[in-house]
Structure 1
Amino acid sequence: MGHTRGGDLMSVPQAGTRLQWMDTLRGLAILLVLIWHAPAIPALFGYEMPLWLEAVNNFFLPLRMPTLMFLSGLLLTRSMGKGLKIYYVGKFKALLWPYLLWAGLHMVLYGHGLELSSPRAWIATGYLWFLFYITCYYMVAPLVTKLPAWLPPIALIVTSIPLEDGLAKKLLYFAGFFFAGHLAMQHRNILAKLTQWPIAGYCGAVAALFGIVSAARGTELAYRGEFALFSLMGIVAAITLTEKYSAAWWVRPVAFVGRNSLIYYVAHFPIILCVLYLVEAMGLGNVWLIAIPGLILSLVICTLLSKWRQVIPVRWLFQAPDPARLVTSRSR
């Protein structure tokens, strides 16, 4: 088993191929985002958030988004291997386009406090901040990767530590995890050794203890560079567990979410928001009457959108239209 796992982790996913454990882990992280946002969105409108649920979220806070950043960095080598022109066009179509589209929808449905014509309104807009950050990292990656692979993760995380809480601090902090993923792909043999027992077990135990502290202290410890090592240890343990069980039949739905993570990420928030508006219009004011139907409906609709993701115009919600294909289609 150890030899097979090491081989999987050390392989570079080629175009058109996927690593099952990577899809599974990404799917788990996205599902944690949806489960949290289902009650957190009503809390933005004054509904009471159960304290136990907030503690559970704070337990996963050091792991959830850093894991998504790390996994994106793992794929950087493959993306840049296509050539810079294809690389940048691809990132525009698959990242910048859906960000701008759904950021505009978010500001219309939820509001932003700024006019749509204001450039600031389009920077890390609402819940889409993760997509904005990832886009920024991919834009600068061809330059950053000219440095020794070990330097950017360390420099970025350390630089984030003295900064005040805000956009710059988070941007640098998460960039550290993104380029740590790239570093791990450059040294896949080391990653394979770290994800073997008992090392992975020690990492998981330490990360779990830090998660308990985070649950008790709340967001006070969130996204702080001085604690980034605990998040990295949690990522090692999470990779180990998902890689071990990713072949099981019961994780296939989770891997499906991971393969279509962009759709679930961008579409769930406005769906839950619409449920909230509908429940309030009916005169009902209970957080669970919003959270539970909102979560179920967002899962159902996002799954259908994922099934139809290649059907036009559904495809254009998540990927920019290809002008060449449009011209060919019209001529036909």
Structure 2
Amino acid sequence: MKPVRETWIDYARGIAIILVLYRHVFEGIKNAGIAVERYLFIEHFNIMFFSFRMPLFFIVSGIFVESSLKKRGLTGFLSTKVKTILYPFFLWGILQITLQLILSKYVNSNRTIYSYLDLLYAPRAIDQFWYLYALFNVSVLYAVGVAVFKLKPVVNILIGAVLYFISTAAHQSNLGLGFLGDILHYYIFYSIGDFFCNAIRKKENQQYFESWKLLGLLFVPFFATQYYFLKQNLLHPYTGYEYVEYYQPILFIAIALLGCMFVLALSFFLQKLKAIPWLHVLGSHSLYIYVSHVIVLAAVRIFITKVLGIYNVPLLLILGIGLGLLIPVLFYKAACQFNMRWLFSLEPSGKKHKDPTILEREQSISR
């Protein structure tokens, strides 16, 4: 029997990838020296979205770890992660660094030949790629813990809590942990996703998650905590707007979880209405957008500013997000059409004719 498609997960990933591009487009505009002082509201939204955007990615990924391990076993699970996360991480990371070196006069990044080594131990230095490396490492450690040491989700949450507080203490002490810091920081969110997977995916509970009442119940607390997150970070700008995350860690977890709950409730509600279909299409292509969007954004920004002479910040933001989403999806579809899926995945070519949305579900960053 063919499983029922869970489009809510695509809606959630679609929302998350839009928020990722919002930040990267805006930061790119600022780093290009374009004045943004008149548009404080854009910066404020940028700060607020930071409260739950990346935890959402890890929670969503954790929701599917149990079913993936049951389906593939530990060996198959690890093999899939190498093919669908680690491989594009290195391929696109190397490609992006190379282009930034070649086009150093036109891009914001300051790269050297040693930047390639950053992929191994300091991936945060290479723009967006830290997330893929962190997700791969967290997924592998979590899967080994579950399959080999039989760790239950509750135990993993406790382990994740300890690791999380170690990461915040290290940050407060200016102790650089490289890629290890990201593992310590986000393991708890992956564990939380696994803990709630059965409740979230259980068919009997779907009517509750799809209800507008749940969305309404979360609405006020969500915006209240977002306001608090914004105000506290604005009061402590010297922390890089990370004050709540690293100096109020318990509160940050609560704010992040509330933000994730709101997005998931919204995703279930959109699934019920079958609304905004392009949003779940974006979600089903989120990995491909993620690995390539920085290259696309740089090209779009240079063309719009240097060729068209447009420096209006809101317009740059809208065009950057729109084209940063559209072009990677079109590029991925073209790659599939010309038998070049190896640009994104090492999955066997025998699957090349499968619908890309379904195929992506089987091998995406949320598995």
TM-score, normalised to structure 1, is 0.81
Match of 1:247 in 2: 272
Residue in 1 that maps onto 2:163: 159
- Is the contact made by 1:15 and 1:78 (CA closer than 8 Å) also made in structure 2? no
Q: Deviation of residue 17 (structure 1)? A: 5.5
Contact 1:156/1:175 (<8 A) preserved:
yes
8 Å Cα contact 1:308/1:315 also seen in 2: no
- 1:232-311 matches, within 5 Å, as 232-279=257-304, 281-282=306-307, 284=309, 286=311, 288=313, 290-308=316-334, 310-311=336-337
Which of the numbers 14, 25, 28 marks the counterpart of 1:38? 25
- With over 3 angstroms needed to count, the CA separation of the structure-2 counterparts of 1:223 and 1:144, relative to structure 1, is farther
Cα distance, 1:217 vs. partner? 3.1
Partner residue, 1:329: none
Equivalence map 1:83-102=2 (5 Å): 83-102=73-92
CA 170–96 in structure 1, closer or farther in 2 if over 3 Å, else same: closer
C-alpha distance in structure 1 between counterparts of 2:328 and 2:93, whole Å: 17
Q: Which residue of 2 aligns with 1:10?
A: none
Runs of 4+ in structure 1 off by over 6 angstroms are 196-200, 323-326
Gaps of 5+ in 2: 101-108, 234-240, 353-367
Instruction: State the shift of 1:128 in Å.
Output: 1.5
After TM superposition, the structure 1 = structure 2 runs for residues 104-123 of structure 1, keeping only pairs within 5 Å, are: 104-110=94-100, 111=109, 113-116=111-114, 119-122=117-120, 123=122
Give the 3 Å change call, closer, same or farther, for CA 274–321 of structure 1 in structure 2. Answer: same
Per-residue deviation at 1:291? 3.5
Residue of structure 1 equivalent to 2:238? none
Identity, in percent, stands at 22
Question: What SS does the aligned partner of 1:67 have?
Answer: helix
Distance in 1 of aligned mates of 2:2 and 2:245: 32
- Per the alignment, residue 21 of structure 1 pairs with 8
* CA deviation map 1:273-331 (0-9, x unaligned): 112333454484725364443333223212313434533444122102648999xxxxx
Q: Verify the 8 A CA contact 2:11 2:279 in the aligned structure 1.
A: yes
The 1:214/1:89 distance shift into structure 2, 3 A limit, reads: same
The amino acid of 1:243's aligned partner reads F
What SS class does the counterpart of residue 320 from structure 1 fall into? coil
Partner of 2:34: 47
Moved more, 261-270 or 315-324: 315-324
Name the residue aligned to 2:57: 68
Instruction: Tell me the CA shift for residue 262 of structure 1.
Output: 0.4
Q: Shift of the alpha carbon at 1:104? A: 0.9
Amino acid of the structure 1 residue aligned with 2:292? A
Which of 188, 192, 214 matches 1:180? 192
| CA 283–142 in structure 1, closer or farther in 2 if over 3 Å, else same | closer
Match of 1:320 among 346, 352, 361: 346
2:223 matches 1:208: yes
- Relative to 1, partners in 2 of residues 1:20 and 1:322: Cα closer, same or farther, differing over 3 Å? closer
Give the deviation of 1:39 after TM superposition: 2.2
Is 1:220 the counterpart of 2:242? The answer is yes
* Aligned residue number for residue 254 of structure 2: 229
Structure 2-normalised TM-score?
A: 0.74
Letter in 1 for 2:330: L
CA–CA separation in structure 2 for the residues paired with 1:23 and 1:70: 14
Alpha-carbon distance change, 129 to 112 in structure 1, aligned in 2, over 3 angstroms: farther
Q: Which runs of 5+ in 1 are unaligned?
A: 1-13, 327-332
The alignment covers a number of residue pairs equal to 312
Instruction: State the partner residue of 1:128.
Output: 129
Q: CA deviation at 1:249?
A: 4.2
Distance in 1 (CA, whole Å) between partners of 2:189 and 2:2 is 23
Distance of 1:15 and 1:151 partners within structure 2: 33
C-alpha separation between the residues in 2 aligned to 1:324 and 1:247?
Answer: 34
Residue 116 to residue 41, structure 1, CA distance change in 2 (3 Å): same
Deviation at 1:80, TM superposition (A): 1.2
Contact 1:23 1:258 in 2 (8 A): yes
Distance across 2 between alignment mates of 1:201 and 1:325: 42
How far did residue 231 of structure 1 move?
A: 1.3
